[in-house]
Chain A
């Protein structure tokens, strides 16, 4: 029997603890849109997206009202454009990016993901054209997000691609210098990228996915933080149990919203991504959960252990609550999007090296990190290589979303606004990695990839 307390608990979660559904993301296969004529291909892409996603935003808003839970973002992910555009007779995929941007604007979504390539073993001609088009695409378009998978546990790390990504990221930063390098916030470099991730900027519609699908990303750091605060001083078993219970409740809302949205849009329900996704709002912070566990500041000794407990308990609670779990599923630690992370960096408690350690025990990686604008491309590539190695060896998804903030130094910060937030510029190591990154070729897959 539902009690008054249970009803009030749900209301409090939404009204005071920032519980929301972070995103419902409609995945759309564009594999049937390929055409040797790029304009014909783009017309097919535009028509298909606007036809399938036309109702996404109204349906999302309707569900949010009925259940009384905010659905912050309605978004679209598509088949990696490197695959869709590869057979088109053109050297530049910018037209495809512009088409995605136009389609996204038409249906009213704020981001569309899938200007992507999978190059963990090597780069095809289509991949190369897409990679070459990324800087101008992220400069010119507003809503298009790009991602590049450069490593997997099975294939190893494509260091040629890693080296290239360092240069691409620098190029994007220069082109979008008037916006503090905003373009870089729309590009994710992955290891072991999931094919059903609903979260931007890394979402795309994988090749094993159906024609179209609804994936849901939940949020709710505020709910977990309040729950953790209520068990102050208790032992770790109680702490883990408390996080599990909260994660279960959060995820149930995601499951409900996902199933309802899928039914109303008449597409299959894919997965709930049981991630804890912070926002810049005070109280909606993953760092603050770690601090509520007993750390004076996020980033101090003990942070990795606290995050490991949090991440595992979120998965255990979330897995019970949803019939299909997928995507990234873990706690996110983006710096610019988390008020607690920003404070920890500004007070000198949290450094890049500690963040890297933290990514070993959570999803996803070095996310929304601003570094000095004069950071060499090779250093950015080396930062990516380290993160890819963590993903490859630990058989998990890792990612890098880094902004070499044009003209900015340590002590400055970059302001992106909205959910992307504000990033203090973090110092990087001053010793060169250029001769390492410059070797070229692939880092072989680890021994435990031989699992057959």
Chain B
């Protein structure tokens, strides 16, 4: 998650979280949407928490024309298809809570 400390692209970064049972095609599904809409992936990490796959992607929205609201809709639709929950939030929601 080191990219969050780099302030160059501050305000343009979005955090995408994927939570659900692990299965084939999750990363492909999410990254496919991101690539098609010109979001640059800065970091991906994943872990297993209480039997669920938890994946967090940090993406740069600088060169994308899709706004956060529309990205959320597309990811949510893909999530429904893959039976996982996918959400996208502005990074400030996390930085503000955990950092001064």
Interface residues of chain A, those whose CB is within 8 Å of chain B, are 1-4, 6-11, 62, 65-69, 249, 252-253, 255-256
Contacts and interface: CB of A to CB of B under 8 A. Distances in A.
Contacts of A256: 92-93, 96-97
14 contacts: A2-B98, A4-B45, A4-B47, A6-B98, A11-B17, A11-B19, A11-B87, A66-B68, A66-B69, A67-B89, A67-B90, A68-B90, A253-B96, A256-B97
Q: Interface on chain A toward B: helix, strand, loop, or mixed SS?
A: helix
B68 to A, nearest CB: 5
Interface residues of B, number: 27
A7 B69 contact: no
A10 B87 contact: no
Contacts of A7: 1, 15, 17, 56, 94
Contacts of B41: none
A321 to B, nearest CB: 9
Interface of B: 1-2, 4-5, 15, 17, 19, 45, 47, 49, 54, 56, 68-69, 72, 87-90, 92-99
Contacts of B92: 67, 256
Contacts of B68: 65-66
Contact of B98 (A62, A69, A249, A255): A249
A3 B1 contact: yes
Q: Give 5 closest A-B pairs by Cβ, nearest first.
A: A68-B89, A67-B93, A256-B96, A6-B98, A66-B90
B54 A253 contact: no
B93 A69 contact: yes
B70 to A, nearest CB: 10
Among A2, A3, A8, the one with the most B-chain Cβ atoms within 10 Å of its Cβ is: A2
A419 B98 CA distance: 29
A10 B17 CA distance: 11
A322 to B, nearest CB: 11
